[in-house]
Structure formats: C-alpha cells, structure tokens
Structure 1
C-alpha cells in the first residue's frame, strides 16, 4: 500500500517511514503543504498521514482543500495537539482518524489497516479489465477466473494502471508508485516488473508509448499465459 507522509520533523518522519516499510508499506515523505499538493497531483496514494503543524501552514488547511476538490483519500491526522477541541476540529475538518504524538508504531499500523479496510468496504468491489479482475480487498488477481500469482510490486503496478486506464504514465510516475519518491531505484527495475506482468497477463496488457511512458492495453489484450496476442514489447529504457 502506498502512503503519503506529510511531516516536517525529520526524526519523526524517518522513524515512521522506516517502521512502515517493515510492514510492506511504500512511503513517500514530504514536509510542507506545497510539496504535498504536488505529490498528490503526480502519485496515487492509498492513505495519507498528515501532521498539523507544518512550516507553511496547518495541515487541516490542505485537508479542507482536498475535500472541497472531491479528493476522498483516507487521511490520518498525526499531531501533538491532544485537546478534545483539537480532535473534534480534525475530524470535522475531514480527517478519517486522529492520532496523538507520541504513539506506538503498532497502533499506527493498525489504524492505517483499519482505514484501508473501511475504504475497501465502500468500494464497488472487483476492478475489471477484459478477462482480468482485481480484488482490491483480498489483493488477488484473476484472469478468465483463474488466480494469477503476482508479487507485491507487480500487483501495485497493475493497480496503478487500472486506476488510470486511459492515461499514459511516465516511468518516473510508475517508479514513485512502486517505490516512493525517496527511494533510489535500479535503472531497469521498472522494466523488469512490466516484463513480468506481460509474461503473466499477456504481452499487450501494458503498452509502450514511445518517448512518453506506458499505458494499460486494450481489454482484449489480457489473456492467460500461452495464449498469443500481437503486441510490441519495449526492450529499451525510456
């Protein structure tokens, strides 16, 4: 799962990021409201951890903006402000949960999982694309009714494409979705994951748009391994 962490204290942010990564979260960290706005425009996050006291304003200002714009990503407000009034302001301002510092990492992880389950319960269920079906709650992928074994990163990559089925996604956008903006990535890592998805789901499941990036292929391009489909596979690095 992809987490956007908005926290200006470098020690707190480092502890949260390293802790969440041990639970298989992909974490992007920014420290200002402006950086958070930019991140939300370029990276799809499953959940946001939002500090209130940021250098360029109160995190609730950003939360109010997002809610007015229809951004419904679940947000956990993380702050040292622990009065009842502060909690009420945060929840009435659009937060889905509120956690006071200091906190235990296990509690943070439990709250994040609870938020994600709540969102999954509100979702329409399976995401379909031709013969492919992704169950976002169970984190399972089926082709023609058969369960397909995908690695965690392969599943995240596929879900990123399914969430933007008509968009061309750049290599940098996809790497950010897979690894987070703060991680160094081997130059061929993205191509390896795309190759694996094409091998398992059909060579045309992901199309290369020369000079721009990649996009989800046509629904009829999805098939079980061993069934032919005509599609050029990119062998170079964009």
Structure 2
C-alpha cells in the first residue's frame, strides 16, 4: 500500500476519494489547495500524489512541473475534469505518470495506484542516490542535497566499500597520509554530514560507526558517476 497525498478542491469529492483510498489500505493526506498541498507534502513520506488541475489558487500541473524540476520521483496521477486528448497529452508531457478523467470509475484509480506501486517498488527498501554531476546525495523521496568534493569522496568510499569500510581506506581516498592524519577530523566530518542530511530532509544518514574500525553505509545506495 502507498502513502498518498490527495489534492482536490471539491469538499464532497475530497471526502469520497479519501474514504475510498483509506478503504483500499492506503495512508492518505487530504488537501484542497496548492498552498495546503505545499504545506503538507513530505517528500520522505508521500509516494503518490493524486492531483486535480482546476484549483482555487492555480493549476495542479504547475505543481507537477515544479516537483519534476526538483527531481522528486514520487508517482503522480492527475485526476481532473479536463479529460480531452490535448489536455491528457500536455499532462503526460509535463510529468504526470497517469492522467485520469473524473468521469472514470474509482476502480481505475485504485488499479492505477497499484500499477505505480509495482513499477516504483514501494515495498522494497528505499534507495539513496549518490551522484557526481552535480555532486549530490538524494535521500529516498526527498530533494537532492548538494555535497562538497570531500563529502562526496567520503560517501562514495562508503557506498562502494562493502559492509564495513575501514578508516584507513577513507583517509587514503581523501588523498591524505594515514600515519599523519588526525582521525578526529574524520569523526567531525561524519558528524557534520549527519547533521546536514537531518536538517535538509528530516531523515537520518544511514551510516553507522564501527568503533575503532570504520563506518558502514547500511541502506541500499545507487552510485552514479
């Protein structure tokens, strides 16, 4: 089942959709405007967005465009009265995964969310993404976090080093001499990295300290060089 954020400005339909999705086993955050959606949306929690287009404070497609531009990988379903072919083509080109007319049966919405769940592997452990161009770390469902060259080197060494990465391997990757290196610098950097991730997205950096040995990146991570 999915964590769904719903955006619909018609109160009766919003209530009906919320009850239906909860009955289907989903966790639902219900909102009725772009402003309310923006305030309630949590990239680290919500996996699917079900959006209307004609809203009191704008067009839901503008929201889709912004989320895609920010690199968010959640599933997006546009559920709207604008069901014409040109509207649908525009919606799909703008970043929607599915574009469903409001005249459709609710069973189609349920099946669409299930299809998204299969394609996006909601039941699998969430993956972190570390990439070099630009240097950034993307937590599951969250915005990318920009990294310094040193931060990137440390995280790449951890991500590619296996279950436990020894301190010496990290120091050498940084281009420093192991015998002359003050290991307190490495501990300070790791503390700063953990704080940076926590402040940026509210998630814990999944790096464990193995006392007197090294560190372990304990979550699935994709490295894109």
TM (norm. structure 1) is: 0.52
- Give, in whole Å, the separation in 2 of the partners of 1:220 and 1:11: 51
Larger Rg: 2
> Quick check: 1:73 aligned with 2:74?
yes
- Give how far 1:95 is off: 0.2
Question: How far did residue 167 of structure 1 move?
Answer: 3.0
Q: What CA deviation, in whole Å up to 9, does each residue of 1:168-190 have, x standing for no partner? A: 8xxxx9xxxxxxxxxxxxxxxxx
Match of 1:140 in 2: none
The equivalent residue for 1:167 is 198
Alignment of 1:7-86 (within 5 A): 7-41=8-42, 44-86=45-87
Q: Deviations over 1:61-109 (max 9, x none)?
A: 1111111111121100000111100100110010000110122222111
Q: CA deviation at 1:4?
A: 0.2
Following the alignment from structure 1 to structure 2, what is the Cα–Cα distance between the partners of residues 216 and 94?
A: 29
| 1:86–1:32 Cα change, 3 Å | same
1:89-104 equivalence runs, <5 A = 89-104=90-105
Residues 91 and 45 (structure 1), Cα distance of their counterparts in 2 relative to 1, 3 Å cut: same
Q: Aligned in 2, Cα 1:127/1:4: closer, same or farther, shift over 3 Å? A: closer
Q: TM-score of the superposition, structure 2-length normalised?
A: 0.55
Runs of 4+, deviation exceeding 3 Å: 125-128, 214-221
**Higher deviation after alignment, 101-110 or 84-93:** 101-110
Could you report, residue by residue, the CA deviation over 1:94-131 in whole angstroms, capped at 9, with x for unpaired residues? 0000110122222111100101211129x9x5459xxx
Deviation string 1:11-50 (CA, Å, 9 cap, x unpaired) is: 1111110011111111101111111112224762010001
Structure 1 residues 130-187: Cα deviation after superposition (integer angstroms, max 9, x where no partner): xxxxxxxxxxxxxxxxxxxxxxxxxxxxxxxxxxxx538xxxx9xxxxxxxxxxxxxx
SS of alignment partner, residue 44 of structure 1: coil
Cα RMSD of the aligned pairs, angstroms, is 3.2
Structure 2 residue matching 1:167: 3-state secondary structure: helix
Q: Does the 8 A contact of 2:43 with 2:72 survive in 1?
A: no
SS of 1:45's equivalent?
coil
Distance 1:220 1:57, change over 3 A: same
Q: Name the CA distance, whole Å, in 2 between partners of 1:29 and 1:127.
A: 24
Give the aligned partner of residue 145 of structure 2: none
5+ residue gaps, structure 1:
129-165, 174-213, 222-238
SS of equivalent residue, structure 1 residue 75: strand
Q: 1 CA distance for matches of 2:205 and 2:83?
A: 45
